[in-house]
């Protein structure tokens, strides 16, 4: 499945980010903790190449903790600072703020050397669509300031958000790269709701999700859906789940379309447990 999804507003989003990057000291790039390398937009790294870059693994509550630690280690080996956060509960927010303050310290010292007053750190928050930037910002501020929404790729105007007295965040629209050529990466991004729903079929992504559950979280399939035979084709397993859920068409045939949509929603909402994809 090759996903080619680059709506016109993505061009506008890239231009906006390129114009505003010069206004900040640090670029914070948000990633989904379940698949940080699959949703890593190298175009953003290029745009921020002259800035200090920090990677934040968001939605850690939905990923395996051991996998998240390994992902952070891999970023460290590449020379990047990485931290994790659950933006819904706020767990990890203190670590994130400390990492940002540490990264800003050299900038503050340079201002003092030049005889200038140390101003608040200016941080640009970047990432692909629907990665949770607004929820992340609301978490750090402690109140609902940034707009949130479930639709990927909604462009918002530039806004500065103050956290405490020493950090200012700039929110940015989500930015995708023009073409996703790797099939499995495309499936992961669809599963995470990062690409728009018009770019894929729920049925295809649901079959991939079943494969992932068999490989990484077999008890969920066995216990949640009361499945006994998992040696059969993925299509047949999806049909069994439809019957278990009572998703039936006239004549008793399984309603695979409804089941596919429900499965994807349950994965995205964490109802299928912690799963790491990368």
Helical pair 256-268 and 183-191, crossing angle rounded to 10 deg:
80
Give pTM, 2 decimals: 0.88
8-171 and 201-268, same CATH topology? no
Superfamily of domain 8-171 in the CATH hierarchy = P-loop containing nucleotide triphosphate hydrolases (3.40.50.300)
What distance in Å separates the CA atoms of residue 197 and residue 26, rounded to the nearest whole number? 32
Beta strands in the chain (DSSP E): 26-32, 52-58, 81-85, 121-126, 159-163, 167-171
Residue 143 is predicted with a pLDDT of 63
- For the 201-268 domain, the top CATH level (class) is mainly alpha
User: At 91, is the pLDDT very low, low, confident or very high (cuts 50, 70, 90)?
Assistant: very high
Q: Where are the domains of the chain?
A: 8-171, 201-268
- The 10s digit of each residue's pLDDT in 14-28 is 888 999 999 999 999
d(CA 58, CA 104): 21
The model's pLDDT over 232-256, given as tens digits with 9 standing for 90+, comes to: 999 999 999 999 999 999 889 999 9
Residue 212 scores a pLDDT above 90: yes
């Amino acid at each position: 499945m090759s996903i080619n999804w680059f709506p016109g507003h993505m061009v506008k989003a890239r231009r906006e980010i390129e114009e505003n990057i010069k206004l900040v000291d640090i670029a914070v790039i948000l990633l989904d903790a379940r698949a940080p390398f699959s949703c890593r937009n190298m175009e953003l790294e290029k745009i921020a190449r002259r800035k200090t870059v920090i990677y934040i693994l968001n939605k850690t509550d939905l990923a395996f903790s051991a996998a998240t630690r390994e992902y952070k280690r891999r970023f460290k080996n590449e020379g990047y600072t990485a931290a994790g956060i659950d933006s819904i509960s706020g767990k990890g927010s203190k670590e994130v703020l400390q990492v940002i303050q540490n990264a800003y310290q050299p900038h503050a010292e340079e201002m003092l050397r030049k005889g200038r007053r140390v101003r608040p750190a200016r941080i640009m928050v970047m990432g692909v669509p629907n990665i949770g930037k607004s929820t992340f910002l609301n978490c750090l501020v402690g109140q609902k300031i940034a707009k949130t929404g479930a639709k990927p790729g909604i462009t918002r105007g530039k806004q500065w958000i103050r956290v405490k007295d020493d950090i200012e965040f700039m929110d940015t629209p989500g930015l995708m790269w023009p073409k996703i050529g790797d099939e499995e990466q495309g499936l992961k991004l669809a599963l995470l709701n990062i690409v728009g729903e018009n770019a894929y079929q729920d049925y295809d992504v649901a079959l991939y999700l079943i494969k992932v559950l068999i490989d990484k979280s077999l008890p969920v399939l066995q216990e949640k859906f009361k499945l006994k035979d998992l040696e059969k084709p993925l299509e047949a397993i999806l049909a069994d789940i439809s019957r278990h859920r009572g998703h039936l068409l006239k004549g008793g045939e399984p309603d695979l379309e409804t089941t596919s949509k429900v499965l994807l929603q349950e994965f995205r909402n964490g109802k299928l447990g912690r799963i790491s994809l990368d």
